[in-house]
């Protein structure tokens, strides 16, 4: 029985043809007839044939014509033997494997379309420059931008002009690299004389700076004033003729380089330009992930990461600035009066009127971790009570709460925060307990200002539960009054009732409200109290404080 031969044909337009003739006669007869048979080879079988042909060519060292750009070999030289039907399954499996490899190398038409933009781009983001469509980039290397630093329109350029400038900078960089390689061949000495090329370049720069205009003419001044009136601060001022072309070009290069560095940081997740969301802060020896937006100035918010002094709370842009600041910062604890100290725990009372900058920075820091906070800059009517933990380097911020100097609703807390690195360690309850201790000294009944955050509500519920169970455990009488509990604990009666209801200890029976003393809850609380110990508790005797008399 004669062996069957297949001919790999190609379409007239140069693309692959999925139908191939199967003829049992000679290949030349198949070319002349060129009819479509019912026997068809799949695209994968064709690639298998191509691979088998490559192997055969490698063994026999035949000099055959090269493949066509579409991946097909010329039909007159590509006849190969077809395997028997018993090997069809194996051939099919090999064909699938080879098809994936061949598709990547030859079949360009079946490649997935490349994404035009980086996958991390958020297309809901827009450039803040008025009238900008977010296309192009100052560096000329990106298709989109979302910040002023990369906006061509803000810099009075177009996207095409930025690309032209980028290609010019690349050529200059190549020339500079080549000249540096030539200079490396010279013998290096400590006091090496400049080369002829360097001397010529210096003369050229001097000549360029000498040629610049000494001032602006009337038309240029009018043009600059019109540009400023039309765009204000939404566009960069016109910079032509202000300095020499050489210095202006240096400035443009520096702008493009800074924009490229910011883009790299943004793609790596360290910068979140466009969203003005600070993702992380470096605070002392901790790096903290933020939870919410805080209204820091835009030049700081767009960086994505802030560096803070943990003592004076000053915020900075870089690690270098922070390191220099720490070398000369004289603060080792919050400003104000230390009104409580026990062990290494201290509480400082800070007046928002006397230490305005510190309190504003504290509010901005707190907003990164609080959702409902609205106080940022108007800090003068408030007192801030800052809790710290001391070691040999200073007093480290643990948390704080603020309260109004004159609250008509007797709120003893306006805002309360425990720093994330100190959460779930008992410091939140200490802050709450301290706020109620101040209310007891003032002989008032206090309550936190609403609305409470989710974590704040959980903390207060836990504290009120603990206070009530302790009171009921020590109570020996038969009749109990909500008012008496409120006066002794300084907790608002509304908060006491809501807590009793959540514990299912308040019942209505025969026209009266009864408080049930659930011994199971009291026993559980006593067991936890014994296990926890008294390490995280407020000692009233350590408080040295007199209520302020109006401010």
Task: Show me where the domains of the chain are located.
Answer: 125-172+219-271, 275-331, 332-542
- CA-nearest of 471, 456, 486 to 521 is 471
Of the pLDDT bands very low, low, confident and very high (cuts 50, 70, 90), residue 48 is very low
Helix (H, G, I), strand (E, B) or coil at 418: strand
The shares of helix, strand and coil residues in the chain, as percent rounded to the nearest 5, are 45, 15, 45
Among the residue ranges 94-103, 129-138, 477-486, the one predicted with the least confidence is 94-103
State the Cα–Cα distance between residues 401 and 407, nearest whole angstrom. 15
User: Is pLDDT at 122 greater than 80 in this prediction?
Assistant: no
pLDDT at residue 124, rounded to an integer: 54
State the Cα–Cα distance between residues 548 and 312, nearest whole angstrom. 24
pLDDT at residue 463, rounded to an integer: 93
Mean pLDDT rounded to a whole number for the chain: 76
The percentage of residues in the chain with a pLDDT greater than 70, rounded to a whole number, is: 72
pLDDT at residue 388, rounded to an integer: 96
The beta strands (E) that lie in 293-410 are given as: 305-308, 315-316, 337-342, 345-351, 382-391, 394-404
The token pair that represents 311 in the structure block: 């003592």
User: Is pLDDT at 485 greater than 60 in this prediction?
Assistant: yes
pLDDT at residue 244, rounded to an integer: 82
User: Is pLDDT at 287 greater than 50 in this prediction?
Assistant: yes
Assign a CATH topology to domain 332-542.
Aminopeptidase (3.40.630)
Mean pLDDT calculated for residue range 347-375 = 90
Of the pLDDT bands very low, low, confident and very high (cuts 50, 70, 90), residue 215 is low
Among the residue ranges 15-29, 269-283, 395-409, 411-425, the one predicted with the least confidence is 15-29
pLDDT at residue 234, rounded to an integer: 81
Residue tagged 């370049």 (tokens): 201
Query: Is residue 411 within a helix (H) or strand (E), and if so which, with residue range?
Result: strand 411-413
CATH classification (class only), 275-331: alpha beta
Of the pLDDT bands very low, low, confident and very high (cuts 50, 70, 90), residue 32 is very low
pLDDT at residue 371, rounded to an integer: 80
Helix (H, G, I), strand (E, B) or coil at 55: helix
- CA-nearest of 315, 409, 410, 405 to 363 is 315
Q: Do the bridges between strand 5-6 and strand 315-316 make them parallel or antiparallel, or are there none, so unpaired?
A: unpaired
HSE-CB for 92 with a 13 A CA cutoff: 5
pLDDT at residue 389, rounded to an integer: 95
* Residue 500 and residue 486 in contact, taking contact as beta carbons nearer than 8 Å: no
Write the burial class of residue 35 (CB in 10 Å: 0-12 exposed, 13-18 middle, 19+ buried): exposed
User: Is pLDDT at 52 greater than 50 in this prediction?
Assistant: no
Strand partners, 5: 23, 81
Residues with a catalytic annotation lie at 449
Residue tagged 């910011």 (tokens): 262
Of the pLDDT bands very low, low, confident and very high (cuts 50, 70, 90), residue 99 is low
pLDDT at residue 19, rounded to an integer: 40
Of the pLDDT bands very low, low, confident and very high (cuts 50, 70, 90), residue 224 is confident
State the Cα–Cα distance between residues 193 and 186, nearest whole angstrom. 11
Mean pLDDT calculated for residue range 24-28 = 40
The model's pTM is 0.55
């Amino acid at each position: 029985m004669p062996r069957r031969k297949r001919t790999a044909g190609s379409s007239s337009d140069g693309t692959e043809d999925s139908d191939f003739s199967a003829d049992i006669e000679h290949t030349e007869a198949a070319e002349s007839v060129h009819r479509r048979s019912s026997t068809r080879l799949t695209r994968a079988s064709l690639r298998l044939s191509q691979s088998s042909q490559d192997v055969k060519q490698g063994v026999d060292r035949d000099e055959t014509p090269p493949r066509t750009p579409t991946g097909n070999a010329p039909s007159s030289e590509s006849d190969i033997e077809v395997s028997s039907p018993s090997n069809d399954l194996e051939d099919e499996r090999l064909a699938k494997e080879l098809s994936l490899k061949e598709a990547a190398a030859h079949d360009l038409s079946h490649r997935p379309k490349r994404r035009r933009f980086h996958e991390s781009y958020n297309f809901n983001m827009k450039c803040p420059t008025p009238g900008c469509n977010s296309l192009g980039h100052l560096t000329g290397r990106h298709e989109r931008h979302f910040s002023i630093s990369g906006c061509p329109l803000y810099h009075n350029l177009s996207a095409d002009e930025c690309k032209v400038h980028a290609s010019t900078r690349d050529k200059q960089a190549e020339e500079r690299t080549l000249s540096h390689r030539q200079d490396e061949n010279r013998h290096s000495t400590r006091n090496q004389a400049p080369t002829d090329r360097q001397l010529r370049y210096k003369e050229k720069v001097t000549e360029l700076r000498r040629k610049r205009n000494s001032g602006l003419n009337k038309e240029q001044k009018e043009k600059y004033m019109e540009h400023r009136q039309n765009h204000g601060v939404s566009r960069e001022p016109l910079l032509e003729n202000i300095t020499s072309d050489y210095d202006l070009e240096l400035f443009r290069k520096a702008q493009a380089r800074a924009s490229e560095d910011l883009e790299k940081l943004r793609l790596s997740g360290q910068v979140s330009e466009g969203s003005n969301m600070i993702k992380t802060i470096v605070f002392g020896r901790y790096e903290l992930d933020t939870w919410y937006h805080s209204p820091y100035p835009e030049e700081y918010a767009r960086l994505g990461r802030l560096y803070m002094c943990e003592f004076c709370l000053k915020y900075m842009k870089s690690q270098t600035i922070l390191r220099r600041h720490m070398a000369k910062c004289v603060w080792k604890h919050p400003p104000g009066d230390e009104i409580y100290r026990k062990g290494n725990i201290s509480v400082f009372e800070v007046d928002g009127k006397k230490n305005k900058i510190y309190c504003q920075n504290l509010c901005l820091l707190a907003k990164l971790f609080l959702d409902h906070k609205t106080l940022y800059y108007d800090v003068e009517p408030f007192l801030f009570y800052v809790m710290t933990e001391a070691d040999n380097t200073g007093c480290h911020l643990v948390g704080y709460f603020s309260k109004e100097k004159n609250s008509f609703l007797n709120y003893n807390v306006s805002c309360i925060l425990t720093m994330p690195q100190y959460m779930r360690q008992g410091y939140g309850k200490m802050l709450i307990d301290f706020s109620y201790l101040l209310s007891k000294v003032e002989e008032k009944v206090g309550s936190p200002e609403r609305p409470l955050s989710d974590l704040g509500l959980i903390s207060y519920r836990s504290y009120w539960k603990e206070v009530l169970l302790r009171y009921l455990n020590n109570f020996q009488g038969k009749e109990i009054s909500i008012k008496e509990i409120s006066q002794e604990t300084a907790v608002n009666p509304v908060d006491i009732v809501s807590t009793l209801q959540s514990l299912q200890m308040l019942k209505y029976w025969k026209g009266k409200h009864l408080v049930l003393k659930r011994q199971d809850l009291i026993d559980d609380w006593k067991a936890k109290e014994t296990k926890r110990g008294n390490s995280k508790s407020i000692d009233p005797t350590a408080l040295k404080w007199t209520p302020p008399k109006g401010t």
